[in-house]
Amino acid sequence: MTRRIKDAPSSIIVQFVSTYGVWMLAERAGLSPILTMVCYAMTLARSAPAYLPARLRIPSYAVWETAVLVLNVLAFLVIGLELGPIIAAAGPGELGRWTWLGAAVLGTVIGVRLLWTLAGALWAQWRFSRGASAAGDGPLPSWRTGLVIGWAGTRGLVTVATALALPQTFRSGACCCSPPLRSRSARC
């Protein structure tokens, strides 16, 4: 359908409408709309140059970059506003326990990611030393490459949205959310 559109404003409107439509279809089908949108966006990003001419793609990218910035700001603002009632409802000693638990999870995630990317870089380096052909024309991966990729990787709203998209039944033994907040779609 977008191949027939010749002007940028109409193309951008169709993109917004189709994105909203995919969200509604995902909800209607019982899928996670957030994860569906991430998959949809990744698919469009890979295929857009093939079907969208540059004269439509450039203004479209500018509008979408602005929309993403605004949505990121709003999402983190809403998450920040949710912290006040959660902290206020914390019982004695719970805030310290949550801090230690959060630090432990953060340390584990960072450690596993660093180990994974370091192992991947060293494995690729080992394969190339055994005669495998290198993909691309860049330098061979090293432990430094794995360290940079591991440290710079997981970040941003997609990670937060993925965590928030987990079903309500996905939690470990105890939930840290107070009962009044659970009913307001807070995820544990």
| Maximum alpha-carbon separation in the chain | 62
pTM exceeds 0.75: no
**Parent domain of 31:** 1-88
Say if residues 5 and 56 touch (Cβ distance below 8 Å).
Answer: yes
Return phi, psi of residue 121, to 5°: -65, -45
Say if residues 121 and 149 touch (Cβ distance below 8 Å).
Answer: yes
25-66: pLDDT as tens digits: 999 999 988 889 888 888 887 776 677 777 888 888 889 889
The verdict on 98 and 141 lying in the same domain is yes
Say if residues 11 and 56 touch (Cβ distance below 8 Å).
Answer: yes
Exposed e or buried b for every residue in 133-148, given b needs 16+ CB within 10 A?
A: eeeeeeeebeeebbee
140-188: pLDDT as tens digits: 777 887 888 788 765 666 666 666 666 666 544 334 443 443 443 444 4
The verdict on 73 and 128 lying in the same domain is no
**CA neighbor of 155 nearest in space, from 110, 115, 122:** 110
- Token duo for residue 94: 């719970």
**CA neighbor of 154 nearest in space, from 108, 185, 121:** 108
- Token duo for residue 87: 């902290």
| Chain center to CA of 34 | 9
109 is a domain residue: yes
Last residue of a domain, one of 60, 88, 116: 88
33 is a domain residue: yes
